[in-house]
Amino acid sequence: MFKKMKRAAAMMAALIMIEGQVIMAGAEDKTHVDMIAHGRYVVTMDDARGVVEFGAVAVKDGAIVAVGTAAEITATYSADDILAGENRVLMPGMVNGHTHSAMVLFRGMADDLDLMTWLTKYIFPMEGRYVDPDFIAVGSELACWEMIRGGTTSFVDMYFYPDVIAGVVDKCGLRAVITAPMIDFPSPGFKGWEDSYAAGVKFVEDWQGKHPRITPGLAPHAPYTVSKEHLSQVAAKAKELGAPISIHIAEDQAEVKKIAAEQGMTSIELMAETGLLDVTTVAAHVVWPTDSDMKALAGAPVGAIHNPTSNLKTAAGIAPIPQMLEAGVKVGLGTDGAASNNDLDMWEEMRLAALLNKGKQNDPTVVPASAALKMATSGGAEAVGLGDVTGALKPGMKADMIQVSLDSLRLAPLYDVMSHLVYAAGSHDVVTTVVEGKVLMRDGKMLTIDEDALRARVEAVAEKIRADLAKTE
């Protein structure tokens, strides 16, 4: 009798309630992993799985080993770290395909100006006065804080002192493609092309293959600040090194007219002629492509990064996203720098990406919620050359994922989770951020950045900029 009671107790102990489902579990039969993350909805961005209700993801050594229902995962795996998923969406982290991270320290410094006036009258001069390694360290950390808080797990950066940026990324835990800026005229730390080019190549050689979350690349600024000959030089070196490139392309009408007058071609045609379409290139903006440009981009290892907020704010235009997607162009989303946005909120970019062309083309069916969400996650990862690493929750991919709370009454009722993510939820609903299996923010608490110390450092820089601005007013 006593033996029967012990067997019954053991069976009862093996019954576990997971998200409302009762399952059988025997710890001795399970495979131990590092983490199991749960979600009321697991939005995988994997066409084979779609959305899994009452789902979970198992993580080992920074990678996803299994995705399924909570019952399936917990019957097979055990873990020391469990991310509860009650009333939460588990989804891939967002991919910010274009930004200048440290420019967050110029947030709100100069607004309501056209692109060229903003650049030449305000940004370039202020960069010359303030941008040094300390400025970059503080600004990059502030940017990383904002991205972690808002659910961005990967970003593509183009800014000065990339070694410093890489050090901040290493510390904060994000994933990044960090590209070294190259420009024909004097810029922070450089006299001109020769030394900026040499420093960029050295940065790639120093970091390539050295860090699991950092991909180094080259960044010729734009076709209006880098000569045709120098663009060809960068493309050839990138091909030799196997390194990615990031560049501003077809951003506004001033650029389009300048390239047409000087080169007799479009910016995309210039990319083709200089070899930039033959290597992995992250093409920021692409607001003004022709039909033939889009065909060329579709057949190249190039991703077009749509920056709707920045392009609207500088009146650069509205990129023809439906046409690019239809042509087969890889399209991702970016915030641009916070000096022209004025934040690093990918949720705003995703919503604008879904809405802008509906209004522009008088067609509510273009860029549906699913397409916008893809541009922010799996499509964005593909556009920046990380499609085999991140952007989706499926076995073999890195465990870059976030949890979004559905607790707010703002999000009730819920009928379609993907619609909610694009049209109703926001960065303030992100509660957990994980990169390569490491929790960077848990239940809203930042784990890799000292917020009080960062605030003091930011304010010290801001005081100097305020004093300088007051002198010019």
> What CATH number is associated with residue 62?
2.30.40.10
| Buried-exposed string 66-88: b where 16+ CB fall within 10 A, e elsewhere | bbbbbbbbbbbbbbeeebebeeb
The answer to whether residues 44 and 174 belong to one domain is: no
Shared-domain flag, residues 113 and 254: yes
Q: What is the CATH number for 231?
A: 3.20.20.140
- Co-location of 137 and 58 in the same domain: no
Q: Are 85 and 69 in contact (CB under 8 A)?
A: no
Structural domain of 119: 94-383
Give a yes or no: residue 410 inside a domain.
yes
Which residue, among 385, 424, 422, 425, has the nearest Cα to 405 in the 3D structure?
425
Distances (CA, A) of 237 to 7, 218, 307: 69, 9, 27
pLDDT of residue 9: 37
CB 73 within 8 A of CB 19: no
Instruction: Report yes or no: 220 and 230 within 8 Å, Cβ to Cβ.
Output: yes
- Same domain? 53 vs 191: no
Q: Is 176 found in the same domain as 110?
A: yes
* Same structural domain, 194 and 117: yes
User: Whole-angstrom Cα distance, residue 109 to residue 101?
Assistant: 15
Query: How do the pLDDT tens digits run along the chain, 473 residues long?
Result: 434 433 333 333 333 333 444 344 455 689 999 999 999 999 999 999 999 999 999 999 999 999 999 999 999 999 999 999 999 999 999 999 999 999 999 999 999 988 889 889 889 899 999 999 999 999 999 999 999 999 999 999 999 999 999 999 999 999 999 999 999 999 999 999 999 999 999 999 999 999 999 999 999 999 999 999 999 999 999 999 999 999 999 999 999 999 999 999 999 999 999 999 999 999 999 999 999 999 999 999 999 999 999 999 999 999 999 999 999 999 999 999 999 999 999 999 999 999 999 999 999 999 999 999 999 999 999 999 999 999 999 999 999 999 999 999 999 999 999 999 999 999 999 999 999 999 999 999 999 999 999 999 999 999 999 988 888 66
Q: Are residues 288 and 152 in the same domain?
A: yes
Q: How many domains does the chain have?
A: 2
Q: Are residues 253 and 309 in the same domain?
A: yes
Q: Name the burial class of residue 296, with classes exposed (0-12), middle (13-18) and buried (19+) by CB atoms within 10 angstroms of its CB.
A: buried
- Of 383, 411, 427, the position where a domain reaches its end is 383
* 421 shares a domain with 379: no
> Do both 80 and 104 map to the same domain?
no
Residues 229 and 320 both lie in one domain: yes
| Model pLDDT, residue 12 | 35
Residue 468, in any domain of the structure? no
Residue 25, pLDDT score: 44
Q: Put residue 180 in one of left, alpha, beta given phi > 0 → left and psi -120 to 50 → alpha.
A: beta
Q: In which residue are the tokens 């390694």 written?
A: 133
**Within-domain flag for 351:** yes
> Is residue 450 assigned to a domain?
no
pLDDT score recorded for residue 115: 83
DSSP string, 357-399: HHHHHT-TTSS-HHHHHHHHTHHHHHHTT-TTTSSS-STTSB-
